[in-house]
Structure 1
Amino acid sequence: MVKKAIIPAAGYGTRGLPITKVLPKEMFPIDLKPAIHYVVEEAIKSGIEQILMIVSKKKNMIVDYFDESLELEAFLERENKHHLIEIVPVPSVPIHYIRQPYAKGLGDAIRLGKSFIGDEPFAVLLPDDIMISEKEPALKQLINQYNKFGKSVIGIKEVEESKLKHYGVISGEPKRNGLFKLNNIVEKPSENAPSNYAVIGRYIFTPEILSILNKKQAPAGGELQLTDAIKDLLSQEECYGKVVNSERFDIGINEEYINLINEIERINKRRK
């Protein structure tokens, strides 16, 4: 059973400059809630019982957001604004934190969670990608596939050919219902992409990926890429890609961030 999740949130957010100099991209507002709130909600709705966030020393705002605020609650009680206490975020599952001293890549961030994960399968949710699902959460769709095969599962979406250079791209053997048995993954191909299926920021991994990451070294002055570790994992065990039935919004792209805000507004109007 997949009960633990890692949310890497220690990056510099360079795509969001200049605002990310002072405001982490994970805290970009979407209908009065920060982006990372939606990611945590997705994890909890998918059955995750413990979350580890990888943060940096400049991301204390994230920690503060999910922490209890007794002072604020006391103020709201005193001012007879009890109804506002209900919307103050107090997650229903434990959230743990660890600092990544230097932003040395997604692979480096994830391997910091080895002691938290132990020998269990686990989820990874990237907070840049917000997934909006009318029915089943994106992560739960991947967990369902893991429960069938007991193998690592990567969330994928079909994207326009011109955009493939921005993502990891998979190649694999089509199975059924949007499922692929993977045979390769390429990080941001500038040309000759192996397919039109790009990796989204949702993964289910067996603990073997952590053993692989612990053996790898980041290149001098470079980053330890998760994609390289997935390639090594493919040589050791079966891995799958699953087309996720959800709308995906990359908040690092201004146009998609605006589209996300509009989509959340439409959803809220339908619910009223």
Structure 2
Amino acid sequence: MIKKAIIPAAGYGTRGLPITKVVPKELFPIGVKPAIHYVVEEALASGIEEILFVVSQSKNLIANYFDRSLELEAFLEKKQSTHLLEKNKIPDIHIQYIRQPYARGLGDAILLGKNFVGNDPFAVLLPDEVIFNNKTNGLKQLIKVYEKQKKSVLGLYEVEKHLLSNYGVVESRKIEKKISKIVNIVEKPQKNPPSNLAVIGRYIFNPSIFSYIEGLTPGVGKEIQLTDAINEMMKAESFFGTTIVGDRFDISRFEEFLAANQYIQPFME
């Protein structure tokens, strides 16, 4: 079973400037909850028991959000606002934090979780991507594949051609409906992407991924690219991908942030 998850949240959020100078993009609201709250709820609903947040020095607001506010609780109790106390509850899950001193890429952020993970398979969830599905969730779909294959699994999503240059894009061989064996990944292809299947913000890895990250030199954008580690790992181990079913929003893109709020609105009425 997958019991541990890493949530990298140390990036600068440059696509969200200027607001991300002071408000982490992970705290952008979808309805009345920040995006990262939905991602933590997804992890909890998938059986995750421990989460490691990788944050930067400027992301203290994330830790504050997931901490109890005893002063606020006391105020609401005094006002007998029990419905607001219920609304203010944070997900009941064990959370740890580690700082990434400099944003050197997703691979570097995940490597900081090596001691936290130990020898266990683990999940990675990117907190600027939210997935809505009334019957299941994104991570559960990956876990189902992992439990069958016992190999690392990537979350895939069909993305419009003009957006593929923002993602890692896979070359794969379909083995079942919605499930593929990954052959290759190209990081942010500027032309001739191998498919329209992008790797989105859900992963399950066997812990051997760390040894491949440790052997990397900086790649695209002079960062330690997780994609490079996956390609190296695939030379020795099989990798699978599952095309996630659900409505997925990348809230670092302004139009998708707005779309996520429009999507969630009927559920709040």
Query: Normalised by the shorter chain, which TM-score bucket?
Result: over 0.9
User: How is 1:70-89 mapped onto 2 (pairs within 5 angstroms)?
Assistant: 70-89=70-89
Q: Which residue in 1 is equivalent to 2:116? A: 116
Partner Cα distance (1:220, 1:208) in 2: 22
CA contact (8 A) 1:167 1:188 kept: yes
Native 8 Å contact 2:9 2:55 kept in 1: yes
Matches of residues 44-55 of structure 1 in structure 2 within 5 Å? 44-55=44-55
Post-superposition Cα deviations, 1:173-226, rounded to whole Å, max 9, x if no partner, equal 111111110110000111111111111100000001112112223369821011
Whole-Å separation in 2 of the counterparts to 1:79 and 1:147: 48
Whichever residue aligns with residue 2 of structure 1, its letter is I
Which moves more between the two structures, 71-80 or 226-235? 71-80
Secondary structure of the structure 1 residue equivalent to 2:148: helix
8 Å CA contact 2:157, 2:244 repeated in 1:
yes
User: 1:55 touches 1:97 (CA, 8 Å); kept in 2?
Assistant: yes
Q: Deviations over 1:224-243 (max 9, x none)?
A: 01110110111110000100
Letter in 2 for 1:95: I
Partner of 2:37: 37
CA offset digits 1:55-97 (Å, max 9, x no partner):
0111000000001111111111122222211111322110110
SS at match of 1:199: strand
Q: Name the SS of the counterpart of 1:207 in structure 2.
A: coil
Specify every segment of 5 or more residues in structure 2 that has no aligned partner in the other structure, as ranges. Answer: none
Task: Provide the rounded CA distance (Å) in 2 between the counterparts of 1:146 and 1:156.
Answer: 14
Q: Distance in 1 between matches of 2:215 and 2:54?
A: 20
Map of 2:250 onto structure 1:
250
**What CA distance in whole angstroms lies between the structure 1 residues aligned with 2:21 and 2:32?**
21
Query: How far apart in 1 are the matches of 2:112 and 2:89?
Result: 26
Distance in 1 of aligned mates of 2:172 and 2:31: 38
1:97 paired residue number: 97
Tell me which amino acid in the other structure corresponds to 1:106.
Answer: L
Q: 1:145-171: CA deviations, max 9, x gaps? A: 000000000000112222211111001
What CA deviation, in whole Å up to 9, does each residue of 1:82-127 have, x standing for no partner? 2211111322110110000111110000000000000000000001
Partner residue in 1 for 2:215? 215
The answer (yes or no) to whether the contact 1:65–1:89 under 8 Å persists in 2 is no
The SS at the match of 1:240 is: strand
Give the direction of change, closer, same or farther, for the CA distance of 1:219–1:254 in structure 2 (3 Å limit): closer
CA contact (8 A) 2:10 2:103 kept: yes
- The TM-score with structure 2 as length reference comes to 0.97
Q: Residue 220 and residue 191 in structure 1: after superposition, are their counterparts in 2 closer, same or farther (change >3 A)?
A: closer
Q: What does residue 132 of structure 2 align with? A: 132
Identical aligned pairs, as a percentage? 56
- Once the two structures are TM-superposed, the CA of residue 249 in structure 1 deviates from its matched residue by 0.4
Q: Which amino acid is 1:243 matched to?
A: T
Contact 1:66 1:89 in 2 (8 A): no
**For residues 222 and 165 of structure 2, what CA distance do their matches in structure 1 show?**
19
Q: Which amino acid aligns with 2:246?
A: S
1:267, distance to aligned residue in structure 2 (A): 3.0
Structure 1 counterpart SS, 2:87: coil
- Cα pair 2:5 2:43 within 8 Å, conserved: yes
Q: Is the 1:54–1:109 contact (alpha carbons within 8 Å) kept by the matching residues of 2?
A: yes
Q: How far apart are the structure 2 equivalents of 1:89 and 1:25?
A: 21
Cα distance, 1:186–1:114 mapped onto 2, change above 3 Å: same
Say which SS state the counterpart of residue 86 (structure 1) adopts. helix
Q: What's the CA shift string for 1:36-70, capped at 9, x where partnerless?
A: 00000111111111100000111000000001111
Number of paired residues?
269
- Take 1:174 and 1:99, find their aligned partners in 2: how far apart are those partners? 38
Distance 2:180 2:219 in 1: 31
